Amino acid sequence: MDIDFPLVLTWAVLISGAIWLFDAVVLKPRRQIKPETDEATEPLIVEYARSFFPVLLLVLVLRSFLAEPYQIPSESMVPTLEVGDFILVNKYAYGLRLPVLGTKILAVDDPKRGDVMVFVPPHDDRYFIKRVIGLPGDTIRYENKVLYVNDVRQEYEFVQEFPEVIGTRTIAVKEYREILDGRPHATYRYPTKVSNGEWQVPQGSYFMMGDNRDKSDDSRRWGFASESNIVGKAVAIWVHKDPGLKLPTFERNQWFDE
C-alpha cells in the first residue's frame, strides 16, 4: 500500500503544532503557578511536539512550495529517465498549491510542450511522470509511431538501433531524437503493433506521453492530465540507485534542458 506522505506530514504538523499551542496557552501558565509540584514538569509529549514542530513545518513548506524528490518507478520515460533515478521536482514552476488539497493559490507559469511533468492522472491516485505533448486546444495524432501536433508532423532524427533481449527473444530497438517546439529529447520505438489515434485536448488539460513510446501507459489510454492535478516540473536527476542492495551513484546527475 502506498503511503500518502504529504497527508501524513500535514497531519503531523497540525497535531504537533496543536499540542505545542495548547501547552503554551493552557498548561504552561498552570505549571508556573505551581512551580514546586510534579505538575510543573513539562509533559514528554509536549517536549516532543515543541522539538519536532519547527522541523516538520520546514519540511512541509519545502515539499509543498519549493521542491520535492521523486523516484522513477517504471521504464515509461526511458531513455530520458531510468528506473532508480531520483529526480527533483520544482513545485513552484507552475504555481503554488496548498498541500493535500492541491488548490492553486498563486499562478506562476503554464506547462510548455516538451516539459517533463509530474502529475496525478485521472485513473490513479499515485504520481505519474510523463512528457507534455499536447496543450489545451491542441489536436494530437499518433500514427505509425509518428507524432503529429495540430496536423504538423514532428521532427525526427534516427540515432541508433540496438538489440534488447526480452525473454527468449532478441528484438531490435530504435532510438530517435524527437524535437518538440525546438526542444529535442530521445525516444525508443519497439517492433510492436501500435495503436493509432487522434485526440482533442480540452481546456485545462494536457496530453501526456512517455518517451519509451511502446512501453508507456499514458494519455493514449487513460485520457488527459488535469491542470488541477499538476504536481510540478521535473528539473534534474540528483542521484541514481539500482534496485536491490546497490549503492547510489551520481553518474547520471544532470539538469534537464529548459
Please tell me the number of Cα atoms within 13 Å of 130 on its side-chain side.
26
CB atoms within 10 A of CB 248: 11
Local structure of residue 93 (DSSP, 8 states): T
Separation CA 221–CA 210 (nearest Å):
12
**Which grid coordinates are listed for 205?**
488539460
**Which grid coordinates are listed for 126?**
499515485
| Beta strands 104-106 and 96-97, pairing class | antiparallel
- Please return the burial class of 156, using the count of CB atoms within 10 Å of its CB with bins 0-12, 13-18 and 19+: middle
Positions marked active-site: 76, 130
For cell 519549493, name the residue: 66
Separation CA 173–CA 188 (nearest Å):
7
